[in-house]
Structure 1
Amino acid sequence: MAAIDGNELAVHNNRESCWLAINGTVWDATSFLSQHPGGESLILNLAGKDATEKYGTFHSPGLVEETLGLDARKGTVDVQTIPKMDEKPSPQQHERKSPPLSSMVSVNDFELVAEKTMTPTAWAYVSSGADDEFSMRENVRVWQKVFLRGRVLRKVGTVDCSTNILGYKSALPFYTSPVGLAKLVHPSGECAIASAAGKEGIIQVVNTVSSMPIEAIMDARTSDTQPVFWQLYADKDLLKSEVLVRRVERAGVSAIWLTVDSPVVGNRERDERSKSVADIEEKIEAVVETPQGVVGIAKANTGFINANMDWSSIEWLRGITKLPLVIKGIQTVEDAVAAFDHGIDGIVLSNHGGRSQDTAQPPLVTLLEINHYAPHIIGKGMQIFVDGGIRRGTDIIKALALGATAVGIGRPVLYSMSGGYGEYGVRRMIQILRNELQTNMAFIGAKDVQAIERGMVNTRRLERLMTGSVKL
């Protein structure tokens, strides 16, 4: 490849000719500007510069070649020759030492560490919800509206927490939800989750917008038989999604989870306020003339999502893969029944962690509505999963008692990786939930997951939140 002087690179800093350096290689991103999911401003702000650090925060090293193609590679550059641009100094942050991992005794402890140790940008992205964040808060609070009804004098000297998820054995009735951009929190990204999940015997669901390639994540497993599921955001160009599905199939994933609750990106105000990720000098006229010019992390990475999917799209997906299919983002009993009628292998009751539509009802309420209006779909082949606000082993028990097969753990996974804990933090978090689950299963008189049943929960306080009008 040709050697390019840093001064030459610096000249290509505009919309007509946009070059940038990543890991010592110069790429021409001019034709990609209009296609970038986060808008062209994010790339233009790095035009003519060394973009390695910013790029590496969100993406795996090989993605640039995969996205732009080898024809866009212009040559190599010695980054020391690139002229230093006048930049606003970033606010100095006091480095805060994380407390000992052994001092983490609840899942909530990790959130406190995350808020103190994550960068402001990462914290805003991970912790934010939509609008006033009502649904995000209610997702957590609603679990407290269900009481446990423990049975006594049952043999619980040994408690077995294992279960079966889509035909795969899991040591625990929960999985890691498809959290994205994990490199924002720890350099190992989703690979740390894969390793931790394997060592603790649970299943990882990997996000389409992961910061690590699926091949690297699969290599990080503890064995070739460790199951990994893939969450799919359908692309506006369905051919791209088909190519991606075939790629993850070759990599060895065991199921496809299609997300349907976010046809558009929610209005996550805290994430939007973190636009400093672009470090861009504001031109006030551009704010109103191109209001989407600079966006938060969520919108910057999910602009490709197809908003025109419908139930007929299920047949399209079944036509390109024979893997088990889960629909993630069911929010009503009506749609749960529709999924059952379409022969779906599993559904996830979810409002996207309160990150899409604010005031959307908590998934636990949807599960209760299924119990009340459509009990015929529970335990009849289609597995039901729940995510959103689960922070305790008792929360897991309540979901299982109402017919869920397992639950998803989302934000706590990223929180537990923060502060430098990485894989070990995720393992500690899983172990905490395991201990709480075992303890409380003994208290309610359940020696195994199958023994957890409807009579072990009192839902009267929650029932008033159910809808009174259902047409099935």
Structure 2
Amino acid sequence: MSFLTREEVEKHSTRESCWVAIHGSVYDVTDFIDSHPGGAHVILRCAGKDATADFDSVHDKELLLQALAPSTVKGIIQPDTLAQSTRTHPQVSVEGSKAPPPLASLINLHDFEKVAQEYLPPHAWAYYFSGADDEISKREGQKAYQKVSLRPRILRSIRSVDTTTSILGKPVSLPVYMSPTGIAKFAHPDGECALAVAAGHEGLAQVLANSSSMTIEAVQAARATPNQPLFQQLYVNKDIEKSEELVRRAERAGASGIWVTVDSPVVGKREMDERLNLEVQTKDSSEKGQGVAKIMASSISPFIDWDILTWLRGITSLPVVVKGIQCVEDAVLAYQHGVQGIVLSNHGGRSQDTAQPPLVTLLEIRRYAPFLIGSKMQIFIDGGIRRGTDVLKAIALGATAVGLGRPFLFSLVAGYGAEGTRRAINILRQEIEANMVFLGVTQLSELGPHLVNSMRLERDVVGSVKL
């Protein structure tokens, strides 16, 4: 393969002829520009330049082999020959700053969030932390759990507790799973692979984001145990063939199910994320004032309906979970469409602000469609869960398991990686086990509505529905 000069590469710096260098190889990405999931301008700002830093801040190198054909490689170039993009790259490093707190000093999930706020670069923090508009839904999702009280039982002589359960037939050690969260590389260089290591050691299931930094093959290879469950999230792409390829790749790689996310036909207005990118635009007029979330979601189709489940069944035999159910009517429709699970979720308050908390949706189901509780369709819930008591309240009210997203991302930050996530999981485990003893139960199946007082939250349930 021939060596290229700076002048040869810099000639190709337009939409009509666009070359970029990544890790010393020069690629002709002219035909790829408009299909890039992050938007065309992300590539064009690197045209004729070294795009390695841009690429590595979001992606694993293996993605190059999948996104670009070998024929796109035009040659190689010596390091430091080309100018780099002027984009400010989120970097995960604690060099030159004070050492992060020892993991043993972090005793709840809120502690991880405080560390993440201090050590994450501003763009990464805004992408992870931000909610939509006034962030009311983001806050209320957590407050909903505070409106439900526990009803402890005494003198039960609890010698041990069993926290195991199963998610879509896969055994797990806790009724907790890793929700799909994009660009985990912002938090740690190992990204979703670090989460997979922690999940395997601690017996959790992981749902891999559609916009994962790492390929599903890399995440599967990073698992600590060969049978640990890994599910694949799916956002339906405007180009349906790309979604079909993602599903088929997931199936080939050994994924245990497809979790199709339906609560974001358009991207919520995440103002913290967008505001930081407007600051970048002020400094660099080539940038568009869009947040990371809006850029990453530019390829999502807003035109899907319930027929997408028929299409999905036509291309895979894997179990299907619908993620983003926000009212009892849609929970019933999902059940009628024969899916294996639903996730009660408002996208962590990141899509439509003032959408009701997922825990309220669970109470809606209890009131208006109780036949769904304990049915063949498993019910999962995410958003705002930060304590072991939150987990137990959700299970007592009918959920199979709960998902956590932001807390596990935060647990990777400051170089903690997989060990940080294991620490976070074990904090939750200890809280769950201790509070099961307080409630007088030895296994999750003994939890039920008799152990909670949800009257304060019941007042938020809609007065009537039409099923």
Structure-1 residue corresponding to 2:433: 438
Q: Is structure 2 residue 30 aligned with structure 1 residue 35?
A: no
Please show how residues 61-72 of structure 1 align to structure 2 within 5 Å: 61-72=61-72
CA contact (8 A) 1:175 1:409 kept: yes
Structure-1 residue corresponding to 2:19: 19
Q: Distance in 2 between matches of 1:261 and 1:381?
A: 23
CA shift digits 1:285-305 (9 cap, x unpaired): x89xxxxx4422112212111
Among 397, 401, 416, the alignment partner of 2:392 is 397
Q: Distance in 2 between matches of 1:380 and 1:90?
A: 44
CA contact (8 A) 2:201 2:225 kept: no
Structure-2 residue corresponding to 1:290: none
For 1:8, the aligned partner's letter is E
Among 162, 178, 183, the alignment partner of 1:160 is 162
Q: Distance in 1 between matches of 2:100 and 2:109?
A: 15
- Where do 5+ consecutive residues of structure 1 fail to align? 288-292
189-198 vs 73-82, which deviates more? 73-82
CA contact (8 A) 1:50 1:79 kept: no
Name the Cα RMSD after superposition. Answer: 2.1
CA shift digits 1:408-441 (9 cap, x unpaired): 0110000010111000000000000000000001
Structure-1 residue corresponding to 2:213: 211
Among 248, 253, 256, the alignment partner of 2:255 is 253
Structure-1 residue corresponding to 2:369: 374
Q: Distance in 1 between matches of 2:242 and 2:235?
A: 11
Deviation at 1:256, TM superposition (A): 0.8
Deviation at 1:155, TM superposition (A): 3.3
Deviation at 1:49, TM superposition (A): 1.2
Structure-2 residue corresponding to 1:360: 355
Please show how residues 222-371 of structure 1 align to structure 2 within 5 Å: 222-275=224-277, 281-283=283-285, 293-371=288-366
CA contact (8 A) 1:110 1:415 kept: yes
Are residues 398 and 90 of structure 1, via their aligned partners in 2, closer, same or farther at CA, if it must alter by over 3 Å? closer
Q: Distance in 2 between matches of 1:232 and 1:84?
A: 33
Deviation at 1:72, TM superposition (A): 1.7
CA shift digits 1:163-201 (9 cap, x unpaired): 111111110001010111100110000000001000001
Are residues 155 and 164 of structure 1, via their aligned partners in 2, closer, same or farther at CA, if it must alter by over 3 Å? farther
Structure-2 residue corresponding to 1:3: 3
- Identical counterparts, % of pairs: 53
Structure-1 residue corresponding to 2:116: 114
462-471 vs 430-439, which deviates more? 462-471
CA contact (8 A) 1:37 1:302 kept: yes
Q: The residue matched to 1:417 in structure 2 has which SS?
A: coil
CA contact (8 A) 1:6 1:80 kept: no
Deviation at 1:280, TM superposition (A): 7.6
Q: Distance in 2 between matches of 1:218 and 1:450?
A: 31
Q: The residue matched to 1:326 in structure 2 has which SS?
A: strand
Q: Distance in 2 between matches of 1:238 and 1:228?
A: 23
Tell me the TM-score normalised to structure 1 length. 0.94
Tell me the TM-score normalised to structure 2 length. 0.95
188-197 vs 268-277, which deviates more? 268-277
Q: Is structure 2 residue 78 aligned with structure 1 residue 78?
A: yes
Q: The residue matched to 2:411 in structure 1 has which SS?
A: helix
For 1:136, the aligned partner's letter is K
Q: Distance in 2 between matches of 1:383 and 1:466?
A: 21
CA contact (8 A) 2:381 2:403 kept: yes
Deviation at 1:308, TM superposition (A): 1.3
Q: Is structure 2 residue 398 aligned with structure 1 residue 424?
A: no
**What is the number of residues matched between the two proteins?**
465
